[in-house]
Each structure stands twice: as structure tokens, then as C-alpha cells.
Amino acid sequence: MRTQITPKIIRRLVAADGYMELNMPGRAIAELEKVENAGPLEGPRRLLMGIALKRFGDEQRAIPHLETAARMMPSPVRRFAWSELSSCYRSMGNEELADFAERLGGESDYELRIALPSAELTISSTESFSELI
């Protein structure tokens, strides 16, 4: 069964992104937890959730979301997810995994765009998180 992308899913993703812009990761997490199955947008949802959890200070819970995003997303976003994972692994005391993730992430100065059906999200490691255009 295919999952349709509903306006409600898009609104929640965009709202979570907005909360991240306002440095409110707890509110972003709450919005993202309301999305049960984002279908084709599950990769971006996982990435947003992982980064929100990381910014909230819950690196341990961020790891599975970022790992899933790193496996689901296309190459440039995958590298961004691995870069985010590096510091999570390090904070959990796993230097070996942190070094591995750092190598997979490569350069950390990304300016990526993820297109949603009704909006465009910009992910930049040089900014707080993302910028709604």
C-alpha cells in the first residue's frame, strides 16, 4: 500500500522546520512525532527529527533517526546526516564510529536543498538548521 503525501504531513514538516528556525527543537520534535508515516518524505522527516533531537540535547535518541536518514537520503544529504552523526557518536563516547561518520560526511560546509511539494527547505550546516524559502 502506497502512502500518500497529505497536506497535513507537509504542514507538520514545514512547522517543524519553522520551530528549528526559532530555536525551538522541543516544539519541532512534537510536530514530527505527530507524523506516523511520511511515505516518500520519511527521509526528510527522519533527518529533521534527528537534528531536532540533537539540538534538544538528546544525542542518543537522535542517532537512530540520523542513521536512517543517512541510509534513505540521496548522496549530498546522506553526507550531511553522517556529519551530524559524528558529534552524536562522540558525545556517546564512541570515537571509532565518530571518526567513521566524519569520513563519510566529508566536508562540513553544505548548502543543500530538499524540495517538498509545496515548499523548499534549505539545510545548511553553517546556519542554525534550515531556512524556509
Contact 36, 65 (CB under 8 A): no
Query: Tens of pLDDT along 53-65?
Result: 999 999 999 999 9
Query: Tens of pLDDT along 29-42?
Result: 999 999 988 989 99
Tell me what pLDDT residue 76 has: 80
Tell me what pLDDT residue 62 has: 96
CATH superfamily name and code, 7-132 = Tetratricopeptide repeat domain (1.25.40.10)
pTM over 0.75, yes/no: yes
Can you give the residue ranges of every domain in the chain? 7-132
Tell me what pLDDT residue 128 has: 41
Tell me, letter by letter, the H, E, C secondary structure of 79-109.
Answer: HHHHHHHHHHHHHCCCHHHHHHHHHHHCCCC
Tell me what pLDDT residue 109 has: 55
Say yes or no to pLDDT of 110 above 80. no
Q: How far apart are CA 42 and CA 40, in angstroms?
A: 6
Say yes or no to pLDDT of 27 above 50. yes
